[in-house]
Structure 1
């Protein structure tokens, strides 16, 4: 979960989509905002017109300390390179929230904090996590989000605790389609487009109904406009998810996000981690392991997560893996637009699989060809 320059890190969240086109407008100078020593976010102005005020609520440090019982250990939800996330209850509204307290000595700096506040105050969609407010008291930097009760997608795919229910095929496709819709909003509805830059399973959060929402927006960048083809920037992201051309040149495009989405989709289907050094040689990198298998459809069944126990539609598996294979093409111009990915995955999510009435897949011993049996 660590940050890396030339290999990775992350940040958080959004709101509900509104019909007004102006809701999607983003000041073109957002990446150029100066972060002054006091970080008076409320007074940051937008030079391209419109209001210079942030819609998110401002909290005092005392309010958030009270909400988390003084950041007590039993309120801790998780920890990463950015700091810690706590479950809290706001006294003023009695609302349960997630409060991210940035490590003052950590890797998430004032710039990323400001970018996240600005992005999530301007971007609103059902598949982006809602930013409720922030705190910039002295040197304290905290972000307050809606509470996502089921945690991250990573929690349900990898190193699953015994109390967690395994994700079935239908839920996996629902999550994949929803995450793709969130990315489509950033690419196609925001103006100018937004490149997320840190799409990974730990940044996809789930509500109580397994609806996915993208989180952690501190690394987001405004995409190219006019006749520009890319944005040149310092390479930041998470190892295993970064598009190869971005990692090598620092040239960032919307197709860089599509590559990262392909890695996430592979994780959803296979249950494997993007990078897993505990696996056998040649299987550490998920994309490198999958590429030879993509060439032979008869081997697709080998890629299904064993946790599915054969309970998936063979046609659906092939189609999902075909989408993933297109997304992780080495050449960015060979990757699909995220809108096309949304179309494909929305269709797959609509095709409900019922193991009681549909075939359950099983591999015959020593063979890579799937044999179909029907559960009685």
Structure 2
């Protein structure tokens, strides 16, 4: 008989025999409740089960706040929060609105009307410049007018009930409406400006976050903020219960928390406190005698059950860990692990260098290889367009596709910002096309066609199939990597833009990218769209077919040269001479025509990536191109004289000095 088992079982029986002694004597003093919230024996109950009839009664909303405001030192808004919650449904009513964790400067600005989980209904509700809030919503209602993706999602809100980022948790294996206890971890790192959210049905924190959002909360937080929870039932009826909560600010290392000790009870106790029953001395004595007999008989059985359960949990945990390894889920690496893999960022391990990062080849203990992308530390000074945060936020969101370079992990420690990717043995397409002295890895025509189709598949996913539309903005041959089977994988999302689908108009920006790959309207208007990616893809297609760079050493522009051959009916003369005619003529013609169609000066005439892929696979007819390169007029947003009209396709005219460096002069001219 194990003493620990005896103690646990006796404590359980004691709680059943003397329930009034096993419960907390008084509710915690460090939590303040508002509205319908109350202290139950299983935790903080933010709402109660109600009738299913619509009402605007304040009793449908409840909030719980830590009684003291939390100080965020200086400009550092970093914090960590972990809590367990459950949303218990009413079987005869619709679900309530959900529950939110929030950090607010003025909690009195929150709404007490139904809906919105107690958050302000509109930005106007924050009627003072001193008011702001950050919230993570666990939403169980579907309201399209608020941009909800469904009725079972997590969203990140800043000063508005319309989420900046959200994720469908059902697709990730979680159901907020199941009534099960769920543990959530919410962390914000001020250095990387990233909010990360994890979920689990157990107390074990998963290796990768469920949702990652890039936000600068230091600009939103005041010196003192309030932290807590809010929930509402709206037109439904659910119990929203928080039974464990810890909050910590990284800068002060002060841990704030409220933890409940819970014992098995009738679930009806969640609705409010019960009146205790008086028990006579004889019944107390009899209960103690029965409990003692049960202990003697049942403890061995209980210990056996406990041991078996522990072994079962251990086996399940090992299966989960092995599943994580098999699916290659991104995880957080320590700086010590990164340095060990790269021999302290040794120069002999460098396999690539760019404007914002250096890539090292690393080795892991299992014998595999990784690519370690170490970002320039100076980029930490500007978080508006930090390549690390942009790339990490894009890659961690939803980018799991066979033709995208897979993120395996990240490291934000000290002054280091590092992303860990799979290592691709054959390097970049640029190296094999233009800098390859080894004829044994010369790209045959079949491999080139395979590469083009792979990149088309990746861009179709980004533009149409991802939860949010992603515009890469830097599609080029050196950002296309090849694995050991020459499968193409698009990488380097440091310039990527993430949008909601059908998000409408977009603001003009300073164009970013590489000379020769930039779409003309993007250069002069500064507005990235899916069609600007299509243009860059078209340049890559022509580059693969011809073996020529977008702009060669003689300043010849590849796109111009191909258009001239098309006008002379000599298109096949553009085929790479190194292929020595070893290609299918109809396939070569199809690839060149698709490339020209994608670089059409008029973006409206370019195909979508899905349409281009279908033509490349021979599933659709070749597009009809004009006999000569067309002329298109574009109004510039970036030139000094915003009324200048730019004519694409003209000759012998000066170009706008403000944008000319971004693309060869032979592309554009003024009228």
Q: Which residue in the other structure is 1:15 paired with?
A: none
Please tell me whether the aligned partners of residues 356 and 387 of structure 2 are also in contact (alpha carbons under 8 angstroms): no
* Alignment TM-score, normalising by the size of structure 1: 0.76
Query: Of 408, 413, 426, which residue of structure 2 is paired with 1:137?
Result: 413
Q: Which of 184, 204, 210 pairs up with 2:480?
A: 204
Distance in 2 of aligned mates of 1:230 and 1:166 = 42
Distance in 2, Cα, partners of 1:109 & 1:162: 41
**Alignment-derived partner of residue 84 in structure 2:** none
Aligned to 2:285: none
Q: Residue 330 of structure 1 corresponds to which residue in structure 2? A: 601
Aligned length: 312
Indicate conservation of the 8 Å contact 1:59/1:134, yes or no.
yes
Q: Report the alpha carbon displacement of residue 227 of structure 1 after superposing the two structures with TM.
A: 6.4
CA distance in 2, matches of 1:219, 1:193: 14
Distance 1:106 1:308, change over 3 A: farther
Aligned residue for 1:236, secondary structure, equals coil
1:224 deviation in Å?
6.2
Task: Tell me which residue corresponds to 1:39.
Answer: 192
Unaligned runs of 5+ in 2: 1-148, 157-162, 166-187, 199-208, 214-328, 620-671
Quote how far apart the aligned CAs of 1:29 are: 3.2
Checking the alignment, whether the CA contact within 8 Å between 1:224 and 1:230 is kept in structure 2 is no
CA distance in 2, matches of 1:100, 1:251: 28
Q: Is 1:118–2:425 an aligned residue pair?
A: no
Q: 2:428 is matched with which residue: 152, 169, 181? A: 152
In structure 2, C-alpha distance between the alignment counterparts of 1:324 and 1:52, rounded to whole Å:
37
Cα deviation, residue 112, structure 1: 2.1
**Bigger CA drift: 156-165 or 127-136?**
156-165
CA distance in 1 between partners of 2:500 and 2:344 (Å): 43
- Say whether residues 1:309 and 2:580 are aligned partners: yes
2:444 to 168, 187, 201: 168
**Whose radius of gyration is greater, 1 or 2?**
2
1:264 to 536, 540, 561: 540
How high is the TM-score relative to the length of structure 2?
0.44
Structure 2 partner of 1:318: 589
> 1:337 Cα shift?
0.9
Compared CA separation, residues 310 and 164, structure 1 to 2 (3 A): same
Change (3 A) 1:26 1:144: farther
- 2:563 is aligned with 1:287: no
Q: Distance in 2 between matches of 1:40 and 1:241?
A: 30
Does 1:57 pair with 2:192?
no
Taking the aligned partners of 2:394 and 2:585, their CA distance within structure 1 comes to: 40
The structure-2 alpha-carbon separation of the partners of 1:240 and 1:175, relative to structure 1 and needing over 3 Å to count, comes to: same
> 1:80: which partner in 2?
354
Once the two structures are superposed, residues 188-243 of structure 1 have per-residue CA deviations (whole angstroms, 9 ceiling, x without a partner) of 10133111111000000000000001101121112464362545333111111111
What is the CA distance between 1:68 and its match in structure 2?
A: 0.9
Measure how far apart 1:167 and its partner are: 0.8
Does the residue aligned with 2:378 lie in a helix, a strand or coil? coil
Q: Find the counterpart in structure 2 of residue 181 from structure 1.
A: 457
Look up the match of 2:170: none
CA contact (8 A) 1:78 1:86 kept: yes
SS at match of 1:344: helix
The answer on whether the counterparts of 1:153 and 1:201 sit within 8 Å (CA) in structure 2 is yes
- The CA RMSD over aligned residues, in Å, is 2.8
Q: Does 1:101 align with 2:374?
A: yes
Partner secondary structure for residue 170 of structure 1: helix
Inter-partner Cα distance in structure 1 for 2:332 and 2:507:
32
Q: Is the 8 A contact 2:373 2:420 kept in 1?
A: yes
Aligned to 2:41: none
Cα deviation code 1:54-93 (max 9, x no counterpart): 96311122211110111223222111212311111123x4
Tell me, in whole angstroms, the C-alpha distance in 2 between the residues paired with 1:71 and 1:346. Answer: 43
Alpha-carbon distance between aligned partners in 1 of 2:442 and 2:602, rounded to the nearest angstrom: 34
The alignment partner of 2:563 has SS state of: helix
Q: Structure 1's 325 and 95: CA in aligned 2 closer, same or farther, altered over 3 A? A: same
Question: Which whole-Å CA distance do the structure 2 matches of 1:51 and 1:166 have between them?
Answer: 41
Q: Map residues 233-248 of structure 1 onto 2, 5 A cutoff.
A: 233-248=509-524
Contiguous gaps of at least 5 residues in structure 1: 1-20, 349-376
Residue aligning to 2:55: none
Query: Using CA pairs below 8 Å that are at least 6 residues apart, which structure has the higher relative contact order?
Result: 1
Q: Identify the structure with the greater strand proportion.
A: 2
1:67 corresponds in structure 2 to 341
Distance across 1 between alignment mates of 2:611 and 2:566: 20
Using the alignment, how far apart are the partners of 1:108 and 1:164 within structure 2? 45
Secondary structure at 1:133's aligned position in 2?
Answer: strand
| CA distance 1:344–1:249, change in 2 (3 Å) | same
